[in-house]
Chains A and B, each alone.
Chain A
Amino acid sequence: MSENPYRPHLMRIVDAIEETGDVRTLRLKFLEPEIASQLHWQAGQFGQFSIFGSGESVFTIANAPSRGGYIECTFRQMGKVTSGLRNLSVGQVVGFRGPYGNHFPIEEWRGRDLLFVGGGIGMAALHAPLQFALDHRDEFGEIVVLNGARAVADMVYKEEMKEWERATGVRVVRTVDPGGETPDWNGEVGLIPDVFERLRPEPDGRIVITCGPPVMLRFMLMALEKLSFKSEQVITTLENKMKCGIGQCGRCNVGRYLLCRQGPVFTWAQLKELPSDY
């Protein structure tokens, strides 16, 4: 392997799933197959994805390590780099460097009930730990997934949710913001934190894993407080802008942490200690 941390591994796009009008999931395979067997990651870690000519963007590695041999990412078209990626099709080559960052402490979740709460593209960050839990179904208690979007058309993982529901002891709740429903919508209508409160989850023995836009996170934490969840039971992953991924470019610095190294995964308890620079 190259010693240059900035030299990405080349990967070919082998599959693409249209999640919504602006979200796509890609499956990538290493051009050098031996890299695939050397690369180890854990749910919650991320990569720097190169779109040559546009730049690099950070995405969560969306597939669980239990589904190895390839890398998946779910990305939303936003600006320069993600638009460049959007223009690529199956067969074309991108770059990947990583895995970077810390990961979800899944080992500590064994035997607990898991509640995943994702808002919009935030669901991408929950995909790997959820997939891991589903692949090790008997090691965890009840699994609830609350997937929220602004409107029905913006809901990610529509097809996959059906698969998740088929697993035993898994409940999937879909919700859209008021006004985002369609005539044939049979899911919930309401903002994610409100729907979460309506579910009245028992804090006892439960871990809540949540990711979404900053406002959603703020109201989620208020709802969790109301339902008497302890801050150690709640875990999220932050999305500060980052460039190098190796703790040098300075961009993702929040308090004493560099998010690309000591983050992006934090418990609510840790968030309380952080300056509000995220």
Chain B
Amino acid sequence: MEREGWRLSDKEWREWVEALLRAGKLVIAPVKENDLLLFRHVLMADEISVSDQGKAQWSPKEFLFPRSEPLLIYRLRGAEVDLEEPKADEREQVLVGLRPCDAAGLSRLDDIFLLEEQDPSYAQRKKHTTIVSLACDRAEPECFCTAVGGSPAGTQGSDLLLLPLDDGWILRVLTPKGKELVAGWAARWRPALAEDWDRTEERRSAVENSIQLSPLSAQWGTALEKSFGHPLWESLGQRCLGCGICAYVCPSCSCFDINDEGNSFCGTRCRSWDSCAFARFTLHASGHNPRPTQPSRYRQRVLHKFAYFPDQHEGRFMCVGCGRCLRLCPVGIDIHHTVERAASAASPEEERP
């Protein structure tokens, strides 16, 4: 494979980020806050925490798909109505230090927001965003990227990728947008050598091999769909509290709500994150709820991600295996385990792919 990349010291790539900041770009990166690793706007490259090998507490999706954002502003003058669209965000932003699963999660958001109908604010932000990911040196207990087609050095959704070495980094260029972000630096930097690349490959396979959770197959979609009426779902979803934490921390969850905030003179139409775990997600005004119980809502979460979405998107799961939902679910619900259980319950051993 044709690979383009530079061999950098920690100091060198931080200098580069410093220059991006000086050039007026917004830089968003993992920062240690108390004991949590969180994506934050940074003012100095030194704030960025890459030595901690874990992933950030939450995914960085909010920088492309905010928790809440205005879609429209309205004002009433007597019987007349004036509409105003919020100003497009045109600042250039660079997301630095995303784990490959988080970058892949953003490409799932592309599937939702850019594929058929363009979402104007997402499209605008995405246009002004460059993504610099960070390959993993170690898998955390909850990680299962390899089970869903990812890798600790995966490139999907990234423009540039930092690959760790014992004594520094390779900054790998993946897209024209990534190349543009390093324009002018090539003269100062040393290209990565074949042996550097080899060492990153060794690291990648070491991390990959350390991931214990078994692969999930896109062909299980049919089995999962067949599991819909299986009594097993009652026990799989019974513990679910309906808190929605799993959706909020997930890099690929994208369901949202739209509501007017204001009064009958002026106000804002807002879009905000939502979760299929909430009863109100599907509750009709009449009181009828197509998914009346928590297990039926948990089943939707799983089937949407592992059966329905892949069916519409060339087999891609709407899960990138970051494991955050396993780690943060207050009652320890494990989505990987659920998929295995449900798929095997619905199809006899010999039919399983």
Contact = CB atoms under 8 A, between A and B. Distances in A.
Contact of A240 (B274, B282, B296): B282
Given A248-B254, A250-B255, A55 B260 contact: yes
Contacts of B276: 250
B267 interface: yes
Contacts of A6: 71-72, 120, 258, 269
B258 A56 contact: yes
A185 interface: no
Interface in B55-100: 71-72, 74, 76, 79-81, 83, 85
B116 interface: yes
B72 A256 contact: no
B71 A253 contact: no
Interface in A80-134: 82, 84, 91-93, 95
Q: Is the interface of B mostly helix, strand, loop or mixed?
A: mixed
Interface in B250-271: 254-260, 262-265, 267, 269
B197 interface: no
A4, A82, A247: residue with the most chain B Cβ atoms closer than 10 Å: A4
A79 interface: yes
A246 interface: yes
Interface string B299-317: 0100110011001100000
Given A53-B263, A277-B291, A239 B281 contact: no
Contacts of A3: 118, 120
A161 B304 CA distance: 43
Contacts of B263: 53
Nearest to B83: A7
Contact of B260 (A52, A93, A241, A254): A52
A5 interface: yes
Interface string A176-216: 00000000000000000000000000000000000001100
A95 B274 CA distance: 24
B281 A78 contact: no
B334 interface: no
A12 B80 CA distance: 9
A200 to B, nearest CB: 30
Interface residues on B, range: 35 or more
B117 interface: yes
B284 A54 contact: no
B288 A275 contact: no
Interface string A43-54: 000000010111
Contact of B256 (A55, A92, A243): A243
B290 A278 contact: yes
Interface in A225-278: 239-241, 243-244, 246-251, 253-256, 275-278
Given A10-B83, A91-B79, A275-B225, 7 more contacts: A3-B120, A4-B71, A53-B76, A248-B117, A250-B255, A250-B276, A255-B225
Interface of A: 2-8, 10, 12, 50, 52-56, 78-79, 82, 84, 91-93, 95, 213-214, 239-241, 243-244, 246-251, 253-256, 275-278
Interface of B: 71-72, 74, 76, 79-81, 83, 85, 112-113, 116-120, 225, 228-229, 254-260, 262-265, 267, 269, 274, 276, 281-286, 288, 290-291, 296, 300, 303-304, 307-308, 311-312
28 contacts: A5-B117, A5-B119, A6-B71, A8-B83, A52-B81, A78-B286, A93-B79, A213-B286, A214-B288, A239-B284, A240-B282, A240-B290, A244-B256, A244-B258, A246-B116, A247-B117, A248-B112, A248-B117, A248-B254, A249-B256, A250-B256, A251-B274, A251-B282, A253-B308, A256-B225, A275-B225, A275-B303, A276-B290
